[in-house]
Amino acid sequence: MDWRAACAAVIPCRNEQAAIGPLVEAVRRFLPAVFVINDESTDATASRARAAGATVLENPLGPGKGAALQTGWRRAAREHFQWAINLDGDGQHCAADIPAFLQCAESAPVSLVCGNRMAQAARMPPLRRWVNVWMSRRISALTGQSLPDSQCGFRLMSLGDWARLPVGARHFEIESEVLFLFARAGLPIRFVPVATIYQQERSKIRPWRDSVRWLRWYRQARRRARARA
């Protein structure tokens, strides 16, 4: 497959002026089409992304990582890309891992390829590692399959399959919802090892509000899983 023509990178960003320029430049060595979704940034994120060669989109769906991702996916689909590779804009994802996702998608039928940081889990901040393990176990139980790193935002996704699913999450529960819906639809999911990178970036997750959102999403997903059973 000609991945440079078939796949676009989608990067949601809020106030990532320090990391976004180098990240876009690194991604464009593998995939020339990069969509950066400016999620209400108040710094130079947008201008630095453009200078590095990205197409910058504002987020008409309102604030939130999920809404920003869906804005990018819709634009990529309109421009006839078949796949989107999603990266966070804070520098936690290494563009050099992109070929591993593409090779995985070529080696066997797959609709969603997710990054798996758990081989280097000790490099994650302890609280984030614990929360990720806790969430991953619950989503794995919901779907009946092993999903070792459910919260990694570094993913390669079939846009055709995404378009057929009722993805509606607007915030950080987007990672969980996409996994749940792809698994529930019987679409093949695979994981590839990726680098675990944590520096001095400040998480955009608001612990109380986003935890409540995720728990609300989880209750709804559990009801849907039980109704299907």
| 215: CB partners within 8 A, 6+ apart | none
pLDDT at residue 15, as a whole number: 94
pLDDT at residue 78, as a whole number: 98
Which residue stretches of the chain have pLDDT < 70? 121-122, 198-208, 210, 228-229
CATH code (residue 221): 3.90.550.10
Amino acid at 173: E
Strand spans (E) along 25-66: 34-38, 55-58
Domain that holds residue 7: 3-228
pLDDT at residue 207, as a whole number: 61
| 78: CB partners within 8 A, 6+ apart | none
Q: What are phi and psi of 122, to 5 degrees?
A: -65, -20
Tell me how crowded residue 197 is: count the other CB atoms within 10 A of its CB. 16
pTM above 0.85, yes or no: yes
**126-163 pLDDT tens trace:** 777 888 898 999 999 999 999 999 999 999 999 999 99
Binning the chain into helix, strand and coil, the percentages to the nearest 5 are 45, 15, 40
Q: Cβ distance 32 to 98 under 8 Å? A: no
- Tally of structural domains, the chain: 1
